[in-house]
Amino acid sequence: MARMRQKMKKLRYWSPSTFIVVFIHINILVTRAEGFDSVIQLPRSGLRRTRTRSKWVLSVGDYGAKGDGLHNDTEAFMEAWKMACSLPGFINVVFPYGKTFLVHPVDIGGPCRSKITLRISGTIVAPQDPVMWYGLNQRKWLYFHGVNHLTVDGGGRINGMGQEWWARSCKINSTNALTFHRCKDLKVRNIILLNSQQMHVSFTNCMRVVASHLKVLAPASSPNTDGIHISATKGVEVRDTVIRTGDDCISIVRNSSRVWVRNISCGPGHGISLGKSKTWEKVQNVIVDGAYLYNTDNGVRIKTWQGGSGLASKITFQNILMENVSNPILINQYYCDSRQPCQNEPREHLASGIDRQTSAVKVENISFIDIQGTTATEEAIKFACSDGSPCEGLYLENIFLAPCFGGNTSSLCWQAHGSARGFLHPPACFSSTNDFIRQNVRLESNPAIHSV
């Protein structure tokens, strides 16, 4: 058993009206984590009905972090985390304000006894040189897995120092800055994320996630720097967030459902994007309600690979304002970003009659409601669906997309079936069905608290 002498600070909240801060400065000789129980005071019985909780505060500084931006503070973070993870109750792990902590790739695993808040008030920076990942998994920098009830906040910054990675992006697989894998009941809020090597925040196989009040910033020219990436995750709320990057502001892929996106400002970047994985894909019950997209390469899009399989359904995009957006409304079942040519786009099929791959992700029941603004491309609405698996149940209502620089806007439909209502400019181009299928994706109460 490790013997540790630690300075502990303890905050105590008795009730909302009486806020008492007990600042205990003690040296404790610990042999067992349970040893801490004796210093956590139980609430007085008279206060039982008020919400009472105590919080430990562990600063990485007390575990040897220098915070000068040069010293390797990884070990200090890991030690502070290890301690926090082993204690009962609510624990804050603090990166103090005004300091810069150099953290090398870390693998932070749960489960923990405690509910941890990682309070980043200062700045965490990555090593600049990708060589530091030599022998390590190149896809991970700050990697949290299997941690439940984690909150990340604090108003500070996480800087991926991605410039060196971007310069070599064709030659190496880049790392994602902040990855949460198999985490449940996760909150990430009030953080600035800068210049990630690749994706800024990635949620994979998580459940009940709230990401809010984030600012995600990277140059428009930085490759693959998605803002928020959601993969195989159920119950996600993303809100009140500004994203300006070189790739998708928000991307939602694989087995993801009950995703609620609201009050998002996006651009530059590639817009809000659903689907992309090359094999099996299922994205369902998604609502994007309230977004401002500015100077983006795409607006709201669903992209799937030919030859893929699965389903994208029950998806609503509404209350969206676009400004100078290329491809504002786009469904593309012919998505291709590989260096080899993929199968042709539908228009070319018309001319050449080239064989098409027939398997595709089924795209069904997608609504676009109250979307307006300006488009940088003439084709403001494009539904390029596959022959083998046409799009069904598309719905357009109150769309007004005017060209940025005069001229006219148009829509393109290929194997797209649906219905429309209200004012539409450009007009819908469906081979129409007359039954209206307006998606009522309702995730009104916080989806993050819904059970799955």
Ligand X SMILES: *[C@@H]1O[C@H](CO)[C@@H](O)[C@H](O)[C@H]1NC(C)=O
Which residues are at the interface with ligand X (CB under 6 A)?
Answer: 72, 74-75, 104, 132, 172-173, 234, 240-242, 255, 263, 265, 295, 297, 313-314, 324, 326, 364-365, 376, 393, 408, 410, 426-427, 437
Contact criterion met (CB below 8 Å) for 158 and 189: no
| DSSP string computed for 181-208 | ES-EEEEEEEEEEE--SS-SEEEES-EE
First to last CA, the chain: 40
- Report in angstroms how near the CB of residue 360 gets to ligand X at its nearest: 14
Bond into 111 cis (ω within 30): yes
| Nearer of residues 148 and 324 to ligand X, judged by Cβ | 324
Token pair recorded at residue 45: 């019985």
| Nearer of residues 36 and 269 to ligand X, judged by Cβ | 269
3-state secondary structure 275-286: CCCCCEEEEEEE
- Report in angstroms how near the CB of residue 346 gets to ligand X at its nearest: 18
| Interatomic CA distance for residues 103 and 84, integer angstroms | 18
- Report in angstroms how near the CB of residue 385 gets to ligand X at its nearest: 14
Q: Please, what is the Cα angle at 409 between 407 and 411, to 5 degrees? A: 155
| Interatomic CA distance for residues 429 and 432, integer angstroms | 8
Strand partners, 108: 144
| Interatomic CA distance for residues 121 and 254, integer angstroms | 33
| Nearer of residues 422 and 427 to ligand X, judged by Cβ | 427
| Interatomic CA distance for residues 254 and 231, integer angstroms | 5
- Report in angstroms how near the CB of residue 97 gets to ligand X at its nearest: 21
Catalytic residue (choose from 73, 153, 226, 247): 247
Catalytic residue (choose from 270, 289, 297, 417): 270
Handedness of CA 396, 399, 402, 408 (dihedral sign): positive
- Report in angstroms how near the CB of residue 41 gets to ligand X at its nearest: 35
| Nearer of residues 8 and 186 to ligand X, judged by Cβ | 186
Amino acid at 203: F
Nearest to 275 by CA among 284, 267, 266: 284
Mark whether 107 is an active-site residue.
Answer: no
| Nearer of residues 341 and 406 to ligand X, judged by Cβ | 406
| Interatomic CA distance for residues 428 and 434, integer angstroms | 13
Mark whether 435 is an active-site residue.
Answer: no
- Report in angstroms how near the CB of residue 253 gets to ligand X at its nearest: 12
| Nearer of residues 40 and 437 to ligand X, judged by Cβ | 437
Tell me the catalytic residues.
247, 270
